[in-house]
Amino acid sequence: MRVAIVADVHSNLEALEAVLHHAEGEGALEQVWCLGDIVGYGPDPSPCLALLRQYGAVCVPGNHDVAAIGLLPTDDFNPDAAVANAWTARQLAPDERLYLENLVHVIRQGDFTLVHGSLRWPIWEYLYSPEVAQAHLQRQETPFSLVGHTHVPLLVVEDERSPEGCQMYYLEDGTAFKLGDQRLIINPGGVGQPRDGDPRAAYAVYDDEALTITLYRLEYDIAATQQKMVAAGLPRWLIRRLSLGR
Ligand code: ZN
């Protein structure tokens, strides 16, 4: 079986469709694992929710999902994110709010643990430093874990001989690696708002027979998403950053 691993869709339907279409070609639509932030920032919260639910995605919530239903204050959000959050909250139907409300923060799927931020603070801690990775690994009960939130593809390999306790690697388009004895943390990058300078949508495919994970970057119709954001009156920087991958 092959699994599509997506994170930080952020209401970007064009990016999500590009990813799911590619996953279909890879035979990876039997299962979809989603690492949170389905909504927030982009113009299509309801269609993105509908698509992921249609594929029966196994999903943990992100800070934007929780904030959109009023369960997390947006005081710590930057002003643009807070504006987009208020707009998103107005779009959601009662049934969609209920779906988001019922998402569980940490989920186990076989050898994997799924969480949005980190296992120390599931909703909002960014896992980008060895210190945070260590705190996360101490709480990781499965060989592998999957995180999102930073919108940057990353592989963390536990390494007790290194002074920092782990090695960190950026994952490029087409990078594939084999799962073995070493404990890992994997971030597949962001579908709907990449932040590593590459505007293409990012996601990963897990093959449970070959025991590999492969990262992919995909072009999508950024201009179409941006036009919808203009029409919705969403903040200008949120529109522009999609072109920059920042
Ligand atoms: Zn996010």
Domains within the chain, CATH numbers bracketed: 2-244 (3.60.21.10)
How far, in Å, is the centroid of ligand 1 from the Cα of 78? 13
How far, in Å, is the centroid of ligand 1 from the Cα of 239? 15
pTM for this entry: 0.97
pLDDT along the chain (246 residues), means of 10: 98 98 95 98 98 98 97 90 96 98 98 98 96 97 98 97 94 96 98 98 97 98 98 97 97
What per-residue string of b and e applies to 127-153 under the rule 16 or more CB within 10 Å gives b?
bbebebbebbbeebeebbbbbbbbbbb
Q: What is the pLDDT of residue 76?
A: 87
How far, in Å, is the centroid of ligand 1 from the Cα of 174? 22
Q: What is the pLDDT of residue 75?
A: 87
Q: What is the pLDDT of residue 19?
A: 98
The span from the CA of 172 to the CA of 153, in Å, is 8
How far, in Å, is the centroid of ligand 1 from the Cα of 151? 6
How far, in Å, is the centroid of ligand 1 from the Cα of 67? 12
How far, in Å, is the centroid of ligand 1 from the Cα of 80? 13
3-class SS of residue 134: helix
How far, in Å, is the centroid of ligand 1 from the Cα of 162? 30
How far, in Å, is the centroid of ligand 1 from the Cα of 62? 7
How far, in Å, is the centroid of ligand 1 from the Cα of 143? 24
The span from the CA of 127 to the CA of 210, in Å, is 27
How far, in Å, is the centroid of ligand 1 from the Cα of 11? 10
How far, in Å, is the centroid of ligand 1 from the Cα of 175? 22
